[in-house]
Amino acid sequence: MSITTFDSTKEYLFKLLTDIGEGKIQLPDFQRGWVWDDDHIKSILASVSLSYPIGAVMMMETGNADVRFKTRLVEGVELNSKPEPDELILDGQQRLTSLFQALFCNKPVSTRDSRNMPIERWYYIDIEKALDQNIDREEAIFSVPAEKIRKDLWGNPVEDYSTWEKEYEAGVFPLALIQDYFEWKTGYDEYHNYNKEQLKRFNEFSKEIIKRFEQYQVPVITLGKATPKEAVCQVFEKVNTGGVSLSVFELLTATYAAENFQLRDDWVKRRKQIHEHKALRSIDSTDFLQAVTLLATYAQKQNDPKAAVSCKRKDILNLSLKDYKTYADTATAGFLKAAKFLHSQKIFDSRDLPYRTQVVPLAATMGYLKDKAENDGVKSKLARWYWCGVLGELYGSAVETRFARDFPELISWIGGKGSEPTTIQDANFTASRLYTLRTRNSAAYKGISALLLRNGGLDFRSGDPIDHQLYFDEKLDIHHIFPREFCRLNNIDPKRCDCIVNKTPLSAKTNRMIGGRAPSEYINRLQKSADIKQERMNKILESHLISPQAIRQNDFESFFNERMKNILSIIEKAMGKTPAVDVVQDITLQDQTEYEEFEDDSI
């Protein structure tokens, strides 16, 4: 016995459009609005008139207690009261809405022109052109403004279809009457005094064109009532290739709306709080829901050991409104605490955030711990876990599984009841990786830049510690220490010149002073322009793990070897484990694109 969650059949187009008009077929609220323009509408009308396929549509039966969505009528439907629908459109909204409005509404269609300007249009088909096999069908179908009068550039009427008599005279058929054209046809016959040729011509038009609309069938795939919510989300993403992919947030929004809770409005308020911190500007609604779901499933596991801590798609979709309301504030507080933590690690901007994904378990953990998250010992453990994730580059894929493992392991470890989290155990950094870190495409690249500031890196001109205010005021970025032009002229290997060992966070002003000059030259210029003593300048250089002697002598080899050791030392301190020292000669690029697309960080 086979088990299936869907049925496939064919349905008459007019039956589908009738059901739409009666509210038997509606849209789930997560569907985007109708967006087709005038040309798209004319094209699909031409396809139906020729009995060409327009693709299958996908419906979902209503009545599943576990899959309840807020629904809305298809655009153009006007009813005194909204009934409960029998089916919802998952795929085919644009096609069915276009056909419904053009054929069944009997009012001008509100659409857009080729310049994306709003217009209102009636749709017609030229009888003679439609019957001429030498004329492309799309040439026979046209639209006119709401008043049914076409005008020239000076506003003078050139075509007038404002009355049936004028339509008869022009030989054009209003597609808005195609479902019930008997009265129009009676007037047409009378207008032409029952002329045999005209009667014959319209009968031919009726047979070749109108009948095609009436007999047109659409393939329909219907998801049964037993289809789980997760499957609905996945199916919609697979079939909705022509639009914006449906997110789990959209689906949950529709679910909560059925319980009169506006998730989108709630998220907008929370997002404003979270995005006040520039380091968290990339956090999105799904990240937030994952943190909430981690907290909710962790609480469930405390009561039921068989339950699993998880935040995969199916878990978020199963997040009850009660649980959302219970843990949303905790998650929000956790993200705000996470922002403060990131600032302490010298990560001030979302562009410098190594992994957006790693903030999810961090926020869940800090939200759960509440005030304990501010304790020095707790922050030290969180920092070690965080840097192991960044420098071990463990949050780039399969993150939901790692979320679910890290969160409870962190709670247990911080509480003194468990061993080091798996992420700390899994993390590894090898010396050769420094050669291949060339752009901010890499989490480890951004992480090492932050570690240099965390280690006490001072601003080259002011000598001040780099805090949040100075970071943005001075427009800090990662720039070359030995400029590329200097390296090129001195035959220094580009792989070494452009890797993170030869880069450090510098202000835009400092980088302009550096230009392509030799290090000894620009260091002297900096000292003179900022009135910095040589001893103080040496301290500033050392705060960036730069050997003053090597840079003043333009000795790239000594500079590079010593700085590489120093960087490995701060990596070891952050991770709490020693990086592997492997063979670093003749390193091949891990990603040629990464090498070629380095930033313009040196003039």
Task: For residues 208 and 221, state if they share a domain.
Answer: no
| pLDDT at residue 76, as a whole number | 92
**pLDDT 10s digits, 492-512:** 999 999 999 999 988 877 777
Q: How many other C-beta atoms can be found within 10 angstroms of the C-beta atom of residue 249?
A: 19
Which residues have CB under 8 Å from 345's CB, separation 6+?
A: 383, 386, 387, 450, 454
pLDDT over 90 (residue 164): yes
Task: For residues 304 and 386, state if they share a domain.
Answer: yes
| pLDDT at residue 243, as a whole number | 46
Q: Tokens 């000598």 appear where?
A: 463
Task: For residues 466 and 587, state if they share a domain.
Answer: yes
**pLDDT 10s digits, 90-137:** 888 899 999 999 999 999 999 998 888 999 999 999 999 999 988 989
**pLDDT 10s digits, 95-106:** 999 999 999 999
pLDDT over 50 (residue 195): yes
In a domain, 239, yes or no: no
**Residue 1: which pLDDT band, with cuts at 50, 70 and 90?**
very low
**pLDDT 10s digits, 235-280:** 665 555 444 455 788 878 878 877 889 899 999 999 999 999 999 9
Q: Which residue, 15, 123, 103, is CA-closest to 59?
A: 15
In a domain, 408, yes or no: no
Across the range 302-313, mean pLDDT stands at: 91
In a domain, 249, yes or no: no
Whole-angstrom distance, CA of residue 435 vs CA of residue 499: 5
Task: For residues 58 and 128, state if they share a domain.
Answer: no
Tokens representing 211 are 């009948």
| pLDDT at residue 276, as a whole number | 96
| pLDDT at residue 581, as a whole number | 76
Task: For residues 99 and 133, state if they share a domain.
Answer: no
| pLDDT at residue 475, as a whole number | 75
| pLDDT at residue 64, as a whole number | 72
Whole-angstrom distance, CA of residue 513 vs CA of residue 509: 6
Task: For residues 459 and 585, state if they share a domain.
Answer: yes
Whole-angstrom distance, CA of residue 505 vs CA of residue 511: 10
Tokens representing 429 are 């950094």
Task: For residues 79 and 206, state if they share a domain.
Answer: no
Q: Tokens 């308020």 appear where?
A: 269
Angstrom CA distances, 150 to 146, 176, 387, stand at 10, 18, 68
DSSP string computed for 429-456: -BTTHHHH--STTSHHHHHHHHHHHHTT
| pLDDT at residue 238, as a whole number | 58
Which residues have CB under 8 Å from 463's CB, separation 6+?
A: 530, 532, 536, 540
In a domain, 269, yes or no: yes
In a domain, 225, yes or no: yes
Which residues have CB under 8 Å from 537's CB, separation 6+?
A: 523, 526, 527, 548
Task: For residues 58 and 131, state if they share a domain.
Answer: no
Its pTM stands at 0.70
**pLDDT 10s digits, 400-458:** 899 999 999 999 999 999 899 999 999 999 999 999 999 888 999 999 999 999 999 88
| pLDDT at residue 591, as a whole number | 41
Task: For residues 337 and 465, state if they share a domain.
Answer: no
Across the range 191-214, mean pLDDT stands at: 95
In a domain, 240, yes or no: no
Across the range 547-555, mean pLDDT stands at: 95
| pLDDT at residue 143, as a whole number | 95
> Higher-confidence residue: 67 or 511?
511
Q: 3-class SS at 141? A: strand
Strand partners, 221: 8, 58
Count of structural domains, the chain: 4
Q: How many other C-beta atoms can be found within 10 angstroms of the C-beta atom of residue 451?
A: 22
| pLDDT at residue 239, as a whole number | 55
> Higher-confidence residue: 506 or 31?
506
Q: Are 110 and 120 in contact (CB under 8 A)?
A: yes
In a domain, 172, yes or no: yes
Report angle CA 272, 274, 278 to the nearest 5 degrees.
100
Across the range 192-200, mean pLDDT stands at: 94
Q: Is the dihedral of CA 581, 582, 586, 588 positive or negative?
A: negative
| pLDDT at residue 594, as a whole number | 40
Task: For residues 207 and 129, state if they share a domain.
Answer: yes
pLDDT over 90 (residue 593): no
Average pLDDT, the chain: 88
| pLDDT at residue 5, as a whole number | 59
Domain range holding 168? 123-215
Q: How many other C-beta atoms can be found within 10 angstroms of the C-beta atom of residue 252?
A: 24
Give the type of residue at 120.
E
Task: For residues 469 and 369, state if they share a domain.
Answer: no
Task: For residues 87 and 149, state if they share a domain.
Answer: no
**Residue 603: which pLDDT band, with cuts at 50, 70 and 90?**
very low
In a domain, 252, yes or no: no
Give the type of residue at 586.
D
